[in-house]
């Protein structure tokens, strides 16, 4: 069974078609890169898959649940992290973990146990009671990711998770993503950085609301006969007619 | 789930450097400072004297005015023009002009005429001022009569009007304002803070991210309202204690009526705040809309000026102000010992407003999402 | 200078792009002015009065008739006994109750002493006092007609002259006040939010890193809102003239000068608030909610400052609205010019300087 199945998903805003009949599957435990220029429809597609937006037409199955009919069950089985919304800055590290664990209905004792382990792994045990807003950005993002998979979701959606941090921190972040995938969590990630696209098992590239290409990075490079994903992206994105905003 | 969210809200309120202080300071300012200012009573009216007579009697009249308690002698001028200038500049509110020959006319038995010129930009102040001044002058001539014609003292008047002031026998204006001012605290804390908070999460984008979790929208909004309800009622109770300690005011009616109305009022106001939070996308919009409605609710509720004095159409608008009912109940229960039966006329419309606002809030919420 | 110009232009774009906010900024002040300006009145008229009259004779009927005929009262019916007085007040059925004794006419004629109780709901002491005064005057007049007045010696005639507002319109008093309150609060809210928002979104950092001087940044932030506030001033003044019927009798130049100065002070006040506040929420709470009540109550727009205790009278001096309202009443209603508002202009100018200096000092050239 696949973790995500989208079939002919479409979203119109008035006469504007933001997402135009897209279909794809993501396998369990896969790291799936969702690429596209600004305004290509990535965010809208992701909002439909996470149950935030109702599709105009088409269906999707996420973590085994229909996004049209069972969006609440979808939400209970996914994790989500975005660059914009990391964690509540005016709450401490421990308070954030307790809040999100609690929201997903975890047992307080379990939260306590997992929290200790998690903070040890992250090397944040001493910062347990610091306010999140005081942490450096790199740590914040690592923490935000850990919190998004704290309740052991089947799938985690990452919306440009590494914006604004240095390459070294980004590499460490991807190590965490690999660890999560090893534990069987499916990772659905959007990114601007084409070097990150190379780390994915498979990537799709959206242009003007449709999926223009979908394959493993190696095969894509082979197909277009270029040496990097950046070049692939440039070739495909050139077809875009829509203006980025 | 709700428990964790409510905990989060309390933590965030606590962490905010300003909010807890504001929540504490606001009631204190409202109850301990403002009642001293919120008083329509006319005192210390400044009188400019133009005394053309400069006689013993005219000076005695001026002395009587100065000692009456209502007036302060702002200065003496030789002519009307100079005195008028004082009124223009605001250093005097009223001019008393005593004609030449005032004393001799009085002694002769012909009636001298004094001129009172009142600044009526503030109509109430002007007319009351000149009425007070007139009565001081009448008293003055009565004094003269009693001195020179003793049999006047025996004259009795066959009908006596006896004024009786009920409920607020000391005629204390703070007693009237304090219960009503409590409403402002409740309005701010339970109506506007949660709505602003929701708009804040909207502007920061966190509301959307919350929506990705299994937290549904209803729970989310409830988690915003409940902490402020709790704080609101605590502050309300705190204000009642303050009113008792500082003003010696205790409800003469039942506390149950008071709290019942407060619950109804808080639900109404929360619903109203939610409507605003549904239509506003930024703090700026939310705040300006709220400011607008707070002003309209305040001024058309009888808080400052009596509803009976308003023009007809303003009276009609005032029926839409939840404050109108809450203030009426608070004043009734505090001062008049009103019971639940007496305030049914307030509770019913307030209940209707509560339903209207909340249904509207739900409908506008659905439409937006 | 060029940078300043570019910055002002950017600010304008921000304001103009957000149509909904712009509408709110331009329409709500006018609505507030009209609604509040019309509704505010302390005049007492048409108060319902009820009567307890066990006597029911010709005299009591005459008195009730007299009271009903006046503009101040309208007859609301008879109560059966004094026991019903309380509930009539509690349920708000009556504002004043006249209670006659059992044998009014007999007492009046035979004993030469009859009492009428004029009972008021004194929870609102002002209204109660005013109602009592009016009722008393009406009953006294009736009495005077009954007992032909004798010639009273040693009496002093009083002639009254009502200056500026002989029709006693409440709007003459309240409209300049409401205008001052609305302008101050709206202006302070606009600038404080706008700067706090830049702080929150991090764009303030970029501005501070630029070679622009703090004073230029402050000016650039205030200029667009200054223009907006001038529009508000124009519409508000036309509304008060044409809808509310409040004239401008004095000098237009004086009126415009002091209004511009006042707007400037109010905008700077918003800047000062934003230097203290780190978030939009706090900026809003201080500029909107925190300032609202002091401005309403201590500016003299409603409650006479002379009647306040000395501490509050002193405190009222630091409220800019107090000076503006006083000047506006002089210009609009009393018909005066520049010469009469020098104090107000001086104080407001001083306030502008002080607020500007504090803002500049507090305007952190570096972010922590």
Q: What is the pLDDT of residue B157?
A: 59
8 Å CB contact between C291 and C188: yes
Rounded to an integer, what distance in angstroms lies between the CA atom of residue C264 and that of residue C345?
12
Q: What is the pLDDT of residue C354?
A: 93
List pLDDT tens digits, range C112-145. 678 888 888 888 888 888 888 888 878 877 776 7
Rounded to an integer, what distance in angstroms lies between the CA atom of residue A197 and that of residue A204?
10
- Which one of B214, B215, B223 would you mutate to disrupt binding with A, by most A Cβ within 10 Å of its Cβ? B214
pLDDT at B152 over 80: no
List pLDDT tens digits, range B19-40. 888 888 888 888 888 888 887 7
Rounded to an integer, what distance in angstroms lies between the CA atom of residue C275 and that of residue C221?
13
- Mean pLDDT, residues A190-214 taken together: 86
For chains B and C, having 3+ Cβ pairs within 8 Å is answered yes
Asked if B12 is an interface residue toward chain A (Cβ–Cβ < 8 A), one would say: yes
Q: What is the pLDDT of residue A244?
A: 47
The Cα of B358 is separated from the nearest Cα of chain A by a number of Å equal to: 24
- Which one of A70, A95, A103, A151 would you mutate to disrupt binding with B, by most B Cβ within 10 Å of its Cβ? A103
Q: What is the pLDDT of residue B265?
A: 92
Kindly list the partner chains of chain C, i.e. chains with 3 or more CB atom pairs below 8 Å.
B
pLDDT at B154 over 70: no
Whether residues B206 and A88 touch (CB distance < 8 A) is answered with yes
Q: Tell me the whole-structure pTM to 2 decimals.
A: 0.80
List pLDDT tens digits, range C50-63. 888 888 888 888 88
Radius of gyration of chain C, Cα coordinates, nearest whole angstrom: 28
Nearest neighbour of B4 by CB, restricted to A78, A98, A131: A98
Nearest neighbour of A72 by CB, restricted to B8, B12, B214: B214
Closest Cα partner for C285 from B200, B107, B141? Answer: B200
Asked if A80 is an interface residue toward chain B (Cβ–Cβ < 8 A), one would say: yes
The band of C368, judged by pLDDT with boundaries at 50, 70 and 90, is very low
Closest Cα partner for C229 from C180, C282, C195, C196? Answer: C180
Nearest neighbour of A88 by CB, restricted to B1, B8, B205: B8
pLDDT at B18 over 90: no
pLDDT at C266 over 90: yes
Q: What is the pLDDT of residue C220?
A: 80
Whether residues C297 and B37 touch (CB distance < 8 A) is answered with yes
Residue by residue, DSSP assigns C203-230 as HHHHHHHSS--HHHHHHHHHHHHHHHHH
Q: Which CATH code for domain B45-154?
A: 3.40.1710.10
pLDDT at C88 over 90: no
CATH 3.40.1710.10 region(s) of chain B?
45-154
List pLDDT tens digits, range B237-253. 999 999 999 988 888 88
pLDDT at C365 over 80: no
The Cα of A145 is separated from the nearest Cα of chain B by a number of Å equal to: 14
Q: Measuring CA to CA, how many Å separate C72 from each of B209, B239, B308, C347? A: 61, 36, 11, 42
List pLDDT tens digits, range A106-160. 888 998 999 998 898 888 888 888 888 888 888 888 888 898 888 889 999 988 8
8 Å CB contact between B243 and B178: yes
Domain limits of chain A? 88-152
- Mean pLDDT, residues A23-48 taken together: 87
Percent above pLDDT 90 for chain B: 10
Two tokens, residue C174: 């309240």
Mean pLDDT over each residue of chain A, to the nearest integer? 86
Count of beta carbons in the 10 Å neighbourhood of residue B233:
17
Nearest neighbour of B212 by CB, restricted to A75, A84, A95: A75
List pLDDT tens digits, range C286-302. 887 788 888 888 888 88
Whether residues C122 and B200 touch (CB distance < 8 A) is answered with no
8 Å CB contact between B247 and B35: yes
pLDDT at B158 over 70: no
- Mean pLDDT, residues C260-283 taken together: 87
Q: What is the pLDDT of residue B171?
A: 79
pLDDT at C92 over 50: yes
8 Å CB contact between A144 and A89: no
Rounded to an integer, what distance in angstroms lies between the CA atom of residue A159 and that of residue C210?
32
In eight-state DSSP terms, residue C107 is I
Whether residues C20 and B172 touch (CB distance < 8 A) is answered with no
Helix (H, G, I), strand (E, B) or coil at B308: helix
Rounded to an integer, what distance in angstroms lies between the CA atom of residue C99 and that of residue B294?
41
Count of beta carbons in the 10 Å neighbourhood of residue C293:
19
Rounded to an integer, what distance in angstroms lies between the CA atom of residue C296 and that of residue A137?
45
Q: For A57-71, B141-155, B289-303, C35-49, which range has the lowest pLDDT when averaged over its residues?
A: B141-155
Distance of CA B265 to the CA centre of its chain: 19
Q: What is the pLDDT of residue B153?
A: 54
Rounded to an integer, what distance in angstroms lies between the CA atom of residue B198 and that of residue B282?
10
pLDDT at C5 over 80: no
Structural domains present in chain C: 2-40+168-362 (no CATH), 47-146 (3.40.1710.10)
State which of A12-21, A236-245, C199-208 shows the largest mean pLDDT.
Answer: A12-21
CA-based diameter of chain A, in Å? 54
List pLDDT tens digits, range C141-181. 777 676 645 556 677 777 878 888 777 777 888 888 889 99
Q: For A44-58, B191-205, B263-277, which range has the lowest pLDDT when averaged over its residues?
A: B191-205
Burial (Cβ within 10 Å: 0-12, 13-18, ≥19) of residue C196: buried
């Amino acid at each position: 069974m696949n973790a995500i199945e989208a079939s002919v998903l479409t979203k119109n805003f008035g006469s504007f078609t933001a997402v135009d009949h897209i279909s794809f599957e993501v396998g369990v435990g896969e790291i799936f890169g969702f690429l596209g220029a600004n305004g290509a429809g990535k965010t809208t597609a992701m909002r439909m898959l996470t149950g935030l937006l109702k599709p105009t037409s088409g269906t999707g199955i996420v973590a085994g649940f229909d996004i049209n009919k069972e969006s609440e069950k979808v939400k209970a089985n996914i994790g989500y992290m975005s660059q914009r919304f990391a964690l509540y800055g005016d709450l401490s590290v421990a308070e954030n973990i307790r809040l999100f664990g609690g929201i997903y209905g975890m047992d307080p004792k379990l939260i306590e146990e997992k929290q200790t382990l998690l903070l040890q792994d992250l090397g944040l045990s001493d910062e347990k009671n610091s306010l999140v807003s005081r942490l450096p950005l790199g740590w914040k993002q690592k923490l935000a990711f850990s919190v998004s998979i704290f309740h052991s979701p089947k799938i985690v959606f990452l919306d440009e998770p590494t914006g604004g941090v240095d390459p070294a921190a980004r590499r460490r972040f991807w190590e965490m993503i690999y660890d999560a995938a090893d534990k069987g969590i499916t990772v659905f990630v959007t990114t601007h950085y084409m070097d990150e696209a190379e780390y994915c098992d498979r990537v799709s590239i959206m242009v003007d609301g449709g999926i223009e290409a979908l394959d493993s990075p190696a095969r894509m490079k082979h197909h277009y006969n270029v040496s990097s994903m950046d070049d692939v992206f440039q070739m495909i994105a050139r077809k875009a007619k829509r203006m980025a905003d | 789930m709700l428990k964790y969210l409510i905990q989060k809200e309390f933590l965030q309120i606590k962490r905010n450097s300003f909010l807890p202080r504001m929540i504490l300071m606001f009631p204190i300012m409202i109850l301990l400072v403002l009642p001293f200012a919120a008083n329509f009573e006319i005192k210390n009216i400044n009188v400019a004297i133009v005394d053309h007579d400069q006689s013993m009697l005219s000076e005695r009249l001026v002395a009587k005015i100065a000692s009456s308690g209502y007036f302060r002698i702002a200065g003496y001028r030789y002519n009307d023009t100079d005195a008028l200038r004082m009124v223009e500049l605001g250093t005097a509110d009223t001019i008393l002009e005593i004609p030449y020959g005032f004393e001799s006319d009085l002694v002769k038995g012909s009636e001298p005429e004094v001129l009172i010129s009142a600044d009526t930009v503030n109509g109430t102040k002007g007319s009351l001022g000149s009425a007070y001044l007139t009565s001081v002058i009448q008293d003055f001539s009565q004094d003269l009569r009693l001195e020179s014609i003793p049999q006047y003292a025996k004259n009795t008047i066959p009908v006596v009007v006896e004024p009786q002031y009920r409920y607020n026998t000391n005629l204390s204006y703070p007693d009237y304002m304090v219960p009503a001012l409590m409403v402002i605290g409740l309005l701010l804390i339970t109506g506007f803070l949660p709505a602003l908070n929701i708009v804040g999460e909207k502007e920061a984008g966190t509301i959307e991210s919350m929506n990705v979790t299994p937290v549904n929208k209803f729970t989310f909004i409830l988690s915003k309202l409940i902490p402020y309800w709790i704080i609101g009622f605590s502050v309300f109770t705190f204000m009642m204690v303050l009113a008792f300690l500082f003003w010696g005011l205790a409800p003469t009616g039942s506390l149950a009526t008071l709290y019942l109305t407060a619950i109804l009022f808080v639900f109404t106001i929360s619903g109203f705040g939610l409507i605003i939070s549904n239509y506003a996308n930024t703090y700026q919009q939310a705040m300006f809309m709220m400011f607008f409605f707070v002003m309209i609710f305040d001024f058309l509720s009888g808080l400052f000026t009596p509803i009976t004095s308003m023009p007809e159409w303003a009276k009609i608008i005032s029926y839409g102000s939840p404050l109108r009912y809450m203030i009426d109940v608070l004043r009734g229960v505090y001062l008049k010992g009103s019971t639940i039966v007496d305030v049914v006329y307030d509770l019913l419309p307030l209940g209707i407003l509560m339903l209207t606002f909340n249904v509207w809030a739900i409908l506008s919420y659905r439409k937006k999402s | 200078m060029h940078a300043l110009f570019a910055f002002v232009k950017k600010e304008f774009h921000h304001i103009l792009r957000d149509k909904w906010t712009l509408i709110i900024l331009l329409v709500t002040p006018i609505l507030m002015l009209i609604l509040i300006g019309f509704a505010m009145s302390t005049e007492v008229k048409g108060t319902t009065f009820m009567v307890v009259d066990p006597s029911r004779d010709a005299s009591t009927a005459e008195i009730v008739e007299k009271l009903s005929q006046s503009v101040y009262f309208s007859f609301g019916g008879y109560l059966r006994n004094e026991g019903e007085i309380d509930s009539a007040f509690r349920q708000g059925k009556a504002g004043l109750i006249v209670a006659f004794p059992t044998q009014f006419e007999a007492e009046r004629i035979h004993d030469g002493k009859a009492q009428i109780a004029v009972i008021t709901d004194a929870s609102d002491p002002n209204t109660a006092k005013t109602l009592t005064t009016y009722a008393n005057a009406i009953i006294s007049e009736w009495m005077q007609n009954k007992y032909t007045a004798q010639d009273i010696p040693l009496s002093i005639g009083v002639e009254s002259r009502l200056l500026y507002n002989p029709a006693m319109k409440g709007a003459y008093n309240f409209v300049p006040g409401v205008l001052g309150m609305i302008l101050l609060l709206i202006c302070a809210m606009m600038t404080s939010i706008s700067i706090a928002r830049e702080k929150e979104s991090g764009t303030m950092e970029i501005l501070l890193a630029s070679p622009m001087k703090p004073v230029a940044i402050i000016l650039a932030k205030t200029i667009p809102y200054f223009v907006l506030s001038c529009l508000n001033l124009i519409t508000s003044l036309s509304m008060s003239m044409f809808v509310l019927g409040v004239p401008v009798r004095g000098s237009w130049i004086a009126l415009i000068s002091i209004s511009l100065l006042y707007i400037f002070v109010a905008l700077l006040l918003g800047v000062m608030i934003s230097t203290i506040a780190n978030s939009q929420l706090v900026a809003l709470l201080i500029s909107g909610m925190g300032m609202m009540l002091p401005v309403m109550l201590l500016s003299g727009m409603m409650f006479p400052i002379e009647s306040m205790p000395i501490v509050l009278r002193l405190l009222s001096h630091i409220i800019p609205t107090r000076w503006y309202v006083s000047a506006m009443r002089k210009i609009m209603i009393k018909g005066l010019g520049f010469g009469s508002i020098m104090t107000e202009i001086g104080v407001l100018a001083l306030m502008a300087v002080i607020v500007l200096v504090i803002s500049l000092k507090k305007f952190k050239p570096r972010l922590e």
